[in-house]
Structure 1
Amino acid sequence: MWSTKICAVLIYLSSLFNSVLNLNEDRFYWLNEGKNDIYTALNLEKIEKPSKNVILFIGDGMGLTTTTASRIYSKSESGFLSFEKFPHIATIKTYNADKLVPDSSSTATALFSGVKTNLKTSGVDSSVKLDDCEASLKPEARIDGLMKWAQESGKSTGFVTTTRITHATPSALYAHTPNRNWECESTIPENSKRCKDIARQLIEDEPGKNINVVMGGGRQCLQSGVEDRPGDPVDRWACYSTDGRDLIRDWELDKKRRNKSYATLTNNEELERVDTSKEFVLGVFANGHMSMDYARDKSPTGMPSLTNMTKKAIEILNRNSKGYILVIEGGLIDFAHHRGNARKALDETVSLSDAVQLAVEKTNPQDTLIIVTSDHSHSLVFTGYSSRNTSVLDIAQKSKMDQIPYTSLLYGTGGPNNYQFLVINNTVSRRDPSLNNTTDFEYSQQAVVLTDEVTHGGSDVLVYAKGPMSHLFHNVHEQTYVAYVISYAAKIGPFKSEASSLNYSNLFLSISVLLVLKNNFQCSLR
Structure 2
Amino acid sequence: MCRKFILTLLHLHQVFALEDADYWHNTARVEIEEALAQKWNKKIAKNVIVFVGDGMSIDTITASRIYHRGETSYLAWEKLPHMGLIKTYNTNKQVPDSASTATALFSGVKTNSQVVGLDGNVGVGDCEGSLDESYHVKSIIDWAQEAGKATGFVTTTRVTHATPAPLYAHCSNRKWECEREIPKSSSACKDIARQLIEDSPGKDIKVIMGGGRQMLKSNVTGTKSDPIDTWACYSSDGRDLLSDWQNDKAERNLRYKLVQNTNELRNVDAAEVDYLMGIFANGHISMDWNRDTGPTGQPSLEEMTKMAIKVLEKETKGFLLVVEGGLIDFAHHRGHAAQALRETVRLSDAINTTLELVNLDDTLVIVTSDHSHSLMFNGYSDRGSSILGISQKSKMDQIPYTILSYGTGGPNNMAYELKGGNASRIDPSKFNTSDFTYSQQATIITNEAYHGGGDVPIYAIGPFAHLIHSTHEQNYVAHVIAYAAKIGPYSNESSTPRLNDIVIVTIIAVFTSVLAL
Provide the TM-score with structure 1 as the length reference: 0.93
Q: Paired residue for 1:78, among 68, 72, 91?
A: 72
**Aligned counterpart, 1:447:** 442
**Aligned counterpart, 2:171:** 177
Q: Paired residue for 2:340, among 335, 341, 345?
A: 345
Offset from partner CA, 1:385-420 (integer Å, 9 cap, x none) = 101121000000000000000000000000000022
Bigger Rg, which one: 1
Q: Offset at 1:12? A: 4.2
Matched-pair contact (CA < 8 Å) for 2:289–2:436 = no
Change over 3 Å in CA distance of 1:11–1:162 after alignment to 2? closer
Gaps of 5+ in 1: 507-526
**Aligned counterpart, 1:479:** 474
Structure 1 residue 134 corresponds to structure 2 residue 134 = no
Structure 1 residue 117 corresponds to structure 2 residue 111 = yes
**Aligned counterpart, 1:386:** 381
Offset from partner CA, 1:324-344 (integer Å, 9 cap, x none) = 000000000000000000000
Offset from partner CA, 1:108-139 (integer Å, 9 cap, x none) = 00000000000000000000011000000001
Q: Offset at 1:11? A: 5.1
Distance 2:379 2:22 in 1: 29
**Aligned counterpart, 2:512:** none
Matched-pair contact (CA < 8 Å) for 2:413–2:442 = yes
Distance 1:167 1:17 in 2: 47
Change over 3 Å in CA distance of 1:183–1:403 after alignment to 2? same
Q: Offset at 1:70? A: 0.2
Matched-pair contact (CA < 8 Å) for 1:11–1:35 = no
Structure 1 residue 334 corresponds to structure 2 residue 329 = yes
Matched-pair contact (CA < 8 Å) for 1:397–1:407 = yes
Q: Paired residue for 1:239, among 216, 233, 239?
A: 233
- Aligned positions of 1:244-263 closer than 5 A: 244-263=238-257
Count the aligned residue pairs.
499
Give the superposed CA RMSD: 1.4
Offset from partner CA, 1:223-273 (integer Å, 9 cap, x none) = 011001241001111100010000000011111111111100001111111
Matched-pair contact (CA < 8 Å) for 1:187–1:239 = yes
Structure 1 residue 420 corresponds to structure 2 residue 425 = no
Q: Offset at 1:449? A: 0.4
Distance 2:278 2:7 in 1: 47
Q: Offset at 1:63? A: 0.6
Change over 3 Å in CA distance of 1:365–1:11 after alignment to 2? closer
**Aligned counterpart, 2:288:** 293
**What stretches of structure 1 move > 4 A for 4+ residues in a row?**
502-506
Q: Offset at 1:186? A: 0.2
Gaps of 5+ in 2: 501-517
Q: Offset at 1:9? A: 4.5
Offset from partner CA, 1:271-290 (integer Å, 9 cap, x none) = 11112131211100000000
Offset from partner CA, 1:484-518 (integer Å, 9 cap, x none) = 00000011101011038x49879xxxxxxxxxxxx
Distance 1:18 1:416 in 2: 45
Distance 2:224 2:217 in 1: 18
Q: Offset at 1:441? A: 0.4
**Aligned counterpart, 1:429:** 424
Structure 1 residue 19 corresponds to structure 2 residue 15 = yes
Distance 1:224 1:92 in 2: 39
Give identity over the alignment, percent: 57
Q: Paired residue for 1:497, among 465, 488, 492?
A: 492
Change over 3 Å in CA distance of 1:18–1:499 after alignment to 2? closer
Distance 2:352 2:475 in 1: 25
**Aligned counterpart, 1:515:** none
Matched-pair contact (CA < 8 Å) for 2:114–2:124 = yes
Q: Paired residue for 1:145, among 139, 147, 150?
A: 139
